Amino acid sequence: MKRRTREEKFMDEAIKSAQKGLSEGEVPIGAVIVYQDKVVARGYNRRAKLQLASAHAEMMAIDRACKKFHSWRLPEGCELFVTLEPCPMCMGASLNARVDKLYFGAYEQKGRSLTSALAESNLLNHKTEVVGGVSEEKCSALLTEFFSSMRQKQKEEKERKKAEENA
Ligand SMILES: [Zn+2]
């Protein structure tokens, strides 16, 4: 088997966090913050559980990292790994927290992420370097499987209701 690259190794950690979300019925998106080659904070999407629009994986991981370092400004060299291309809120939070490098797995298919536009805008006089497509297949399979199993469940539920009505 091919040896995993450093990027793939940390993306696997983000995938682990995504799977935790999956086990709680959330859309599986996971993130980790890496500092000095160690995972220092994790997060996964908890939007459904918390009913919070801001409960994205990246926000959770950034919040935890800030708490850990007692600073809204993360130390130089912090990297964020996330299984899906970040939305504008999370890309903004990464810039605000001064994340130096952001790696994401799957690309946002709808092309509404504005990732590179935000990364290059120099809004906060800080640049976050963005690398997309790390373990892309694994990351997108996670989401595809989740959505197809959700559709399957909805279909079964519909059929069950129909059967009940006809009984
Ligand atoms: Zn987000």
| Residue among 12, 26, 104, 3 nearest 58 (CA) | 104
Told to judge if 8 belongs to the known catalytic residues of this protein, a careful annotator would answer no
Residue ranges with CB less than 5 Å from ion ligand 1: 56, 87, 89-90
Q: What is the pLDDT of residue 114?
A: 85
**Residue of 26, 58, 79, 85 marked active site:** 58
- Give residues with Cβ within 8 angstroms of 15, minimum separation 6: 30, 83, 105, 135, 138, 139, 142
Q: What is the pLDDT of residue 111?
A: 67
pTM listed for this prediction: 0.92
Q: What is the pLDDT of residue 90?
A: 96
Low-confidence spans in the chain with pLDDT less than 50: none
